[in-house]
Amino acid sequence: MPIQEGEKIPSVKLKNTDMSDVTTDELFSGRKVVLFAVPGAFTPTCSEQHLPGYIAQADAIKAKGVDEIVCMSVNDAFVMDAWGKDRGAGDAVRLVADGNGDLTKALGLEMDGTGIGFGLRSQRFAMIVDDGKVTKLAVEEPMKFEASAAEAILAAL
């Protein structure tokens, strides 16, 4: 069952784009964070709409009291680094790699992309996390991009 609003983010280790470890406790404890996840770096909707939307809305989102915007994908840190540079994420959005899908599985938000050659991936979602607790969760329906868009999360803040 997927994580629910009001529940605490599980303790899991992720990778920063420089291959250093970062735990979910470090990312979320004592902070307000918007986390959004994409099925894959360099994929069409993720590259053309999802990540660019958060980059464009970063100042407005942070003006609502958000300490950091984090983008996660079940890709390796090198891919996330290259994608962030390619899309111009800079300091607007922090990219993290969930290379083994550990957080994605712990959240119950994985999807089976084997039919299209993707293997295990994350569903497209966004959440607002306040001091480690999910206060808003928006999971997209398959092949949709609405609920997890930057504008939708900005409206929810």
The predicted structure's pLDDT at residue 12 = 97
Q: Is 71 a catalytic residue?
A: no
The predicted structure's pLDDT at residue 65 = 98
Q: Which residue among 9, 27, 41, 46 is the active-site one? A: 46
The pLDDT tens digits for 67-120 are 999 999 999 999 999 999 999 999 999 999 999 999 999 999 999 888 887 888
The pLDDT tens digits for 105-153 are 999 999 988 888 788 899 999 999 999 999 999 999 988 999 999 999 9
**Residue range(s) defining the domain that contains residue 39:** 13-156
Asked if residue 7 belongs to a domain, the reply is no
Question: How far is residue 34's CA from residue 48's CA, in Å, rounded to a whole number?
Answer: 19
Q: What angle do CA 143, 43, 83 make, to 5 degrees?
A: 140
* CATH code of 141's domain: 3.40.30.10
Rounded to two decimals, the pTM is: 0.96
Q: What angle do CA 96, 97, 102 make, to 5 degrees?
A: 120
Total domains in the chain come to 1
Question: How far is residue 26's CA from residue 2's CA, in Å, rounded to a whole number?
Answer: 22
The predicted structure's pLDDT at residue 119 = 82
